[in-house]
Chains A and B, each alone.
Chain A
Amino acid sequence: MDPTTIIFILIYLLTVLLSATKIVPMSVAALIGALLTGWFGLQYGMFTYDQALGFIDMRLIGLIVGTMIVVEVAEKSGLFRFGALYAVKLSGGNPGRLFVSICVISAAVSMFLSDSTAMLLMAAATVTITKLLRYDPVPYFLSAVIMINLGGTSTLIGSVSNMIIGVGAGINFTDFIGYLAICEIALWVLTIFALYTFFKSRLGEKKVLPEYTPWESVENRKLFYRSIFILFLLVFLFLTLENLGIGPEAVALGCAILALVLSGLDPTEVFKGLDWETVFFIAGFMFVIGGLEKTGILGDISMQLFQPTGRSPLKATLITLWSSGLASTLVSNIAVALTFTPIINLSGLNSAPVWSALVLGTNLGGAATPLSGVVCIMAIGALKREGISMSFSEFTKVGLITTMLQLGFASLYLITRFRLGV
């Protein structure tokens, strides 16, 4: 291995370590990596300045920012809070039904909202409800975290890692749903069942819910209906994208502009609510991966990873699923998606089952331990603020069991869905 390659590997490791240990914010870690990549790459003549500018995929940034704006407007309209309160009301104070409601709402909400925003919303709702009914909040809370991580696995805009893979692999919205929707529904059922079995004895007894109407969370009904319209339009356009001859980023940005115009909200307030930390992390990390790709090491890794498979789709799919899944338990799934996407593209094995495996791996590995993702850290922090302590081992025990269960099921699904043979 030549010294230049070692330098770029060290930059990659530094970026991953800095973001995993949270010594500096994730975005700063990626930007430091990008700065070092630029410095060494230009100094060693690995790439030109113009080539470096192409490292950041503006289509992906457009898709992420556009979707974030649409969702932020919907969030400000009270749409997601309305949905959460309505579903809780439907449970009627039955702890079992309430538990299932919270699990379903968490996963459903995170199909549209970023995981961290969904966590904030569900944290507030869960703590309020469990306090009111005097239930142990830990089972409800922990299950919400695991379901938020699972939600949105089967849609292009369900999570940032899905957008990265979708744009990198050229998979459209309908293909995404076609490959993974059944798997996601089955995973919801399986995970809720596993969590219910695990926490059954801690859910509490039936109590009477206090009187409230979900409409209390909606301040502006006009904005509320307009947000629903824009969300439907976004999904409809994603579904008919192929006939329009444009990319998903164009649809997302178009709908974002429409949302800003129709909502009448102050754009500054909307932009303030966007998850810029993630956007800058992705931009910086894409630059680091771009530099690493120029050294040829990603091609070598791709060969080392997939050579033992003998080009068998079954082995390649399972290796992708489990390696990306286990990697996501340790580092951010965005980083894993950004690293694996070029590796799979270079392997020549870029088929639907392998991409589906990467989507499932990156999504499912995110809630195995309290350190697996931002949402887990936020959950523990939110509980601590409420004076409730949840130990590392308690979280890991539930998180790891459900993750392994989900990855095991995903393996079986991929084998049967794509009829993979040795």
Chain B
Amino acid sequence: MSAKSIGEEIRRRFPRLTMSLVMAAIFWIISVIVPPTVEEIVIPGLDVNAGTIVGIIAWLFTAIFIIRALSDALTLSDIVTDIMLKRLGIKEERSSRRAARDAIYIIVIILVATALYPLLGTLGDIGRMLTTVTTYIALGIILVLIYDMGRILYRMIERRAESVADRLAKMAEKE
């Protein structure tokens, strides 16, 4: 993806993601606040109280907006992961070599963090705080790297499956 199209994608998806999350939050609040206030009202004909109906509808809308947000978040996390990994020095195309590089980075981060703990431990309270911060930063980067490895594996299997399907289709067409 070019830098320009990445920019366009972010411009298009980020507001939509924000709006979806805001809407999901609003409907979740409605599902929590409104039902107790209308519990007394029973809908004639259905014999169900209005609180349950409002709760179900609000949850439904929350779910719809969360699903919408998830699809945007997935694309954006792809872009953010790429940007982050480029900053870390991983610039190869998504290949098995890149997955190996991800694995190397994960091991290096674990080893560096482990090597730092005893040093930070000597700094007292600040050291304890720094240890926690180091752990969270390391965990965050490791998660991004595992995500990148996962999607590389996914693409590789997908490509392999496509080529098998293509071969099978060609064989079927020949028959």
Contacts and interface: CB of A to CB of B under 8 A. Distances in A.
B111 A21 contact: no
Given A10-B107, A14-B108, A40 B115 contact: yes
A40 B110 CA distance: 13
Nearest to B108: A14
Contacts of B101: 21, 23
A398 interface: no
B110 A17 contact: no
A56 B103 CA distance: 28
B71 interface: no
A268 interface: no
Nearest to A20: B100
B118 A43 contact: yes
A17 B111 contact: no
- Summarize A's interface: helix, strand, loop or mixed: helix
Contacts of A18: 104
B77 interface: no
Interface string B102-117: 0110011011001100
B114 A14 contact: no
Given A10-B110, A36-B111, A17 B118 contact: no
A21 B114 contact: no
B86 interface: no
Nearest to B100: A21
Q: Interface majority SS on B: helix, strand, loop or mixed?
A: helix
A35 to B, nearest CB: 11
| Interface hub of B100, B101, B104, B118 (most chain A Cβ within 10 A) | B104
B114 A7 contact: yes
A21 B107 contact: no
- Determine which residue in B97, B111, B118 has the highest number of CB atoms from chain A within 10 A of its CB, and name it: B111
Contacts of A212: none
Contacts of B107: 10, 13-14, 17
Most B-side CB within 10 Å, residue of A7, A17, A20, A21:
A21
Interface residues of A, number: 14
Interface in A12-46: 13-14, 17-18, 20-21, 23, 36, 39-40, 43
Contacts of B114: 7, 40
B108 A17 contact: no
A11 interface: yes
A23 B108 CA distance: 13
Interface in A320-370: none
Contact of A14 (B104, B115, B118): B104
25 contacts: A7-B111, A7-B114, A10-B107, A10-B111, A11-B111, A13-B103, A13-B107, A14-B104, A14-B107, A14-B108, A14-B111, A17-B100, A17-B103, A17-B104, A17-B107, A18-B104, A21-B97, A21-B101, A21-B104, A23-B101, A23-B104, A36-B111, A39-B115, A43-B115, A43-B118
Interface of A: 7, 10-11, 13-14, 17-18, 20-21, 23, 36, 39-40, 43
Interface of B: 97, 100-101, 103-104, 107-108, 110-111, 114-115, 118
Closest 4 CB pairs of A and B: A14-B107, A21-B100, A10-B107, A17-B104
Given A11-B111, A39-B115, A43-B118, 15 more contacts: A7-B111, A7-B114, A10-B107, A10-B111, A14-B104, A14-B111, A17-B100, A17-B104, A17-B107, A18-B104, A20-B100, A23-B104, A36-B115, A40-B111, A40-B115
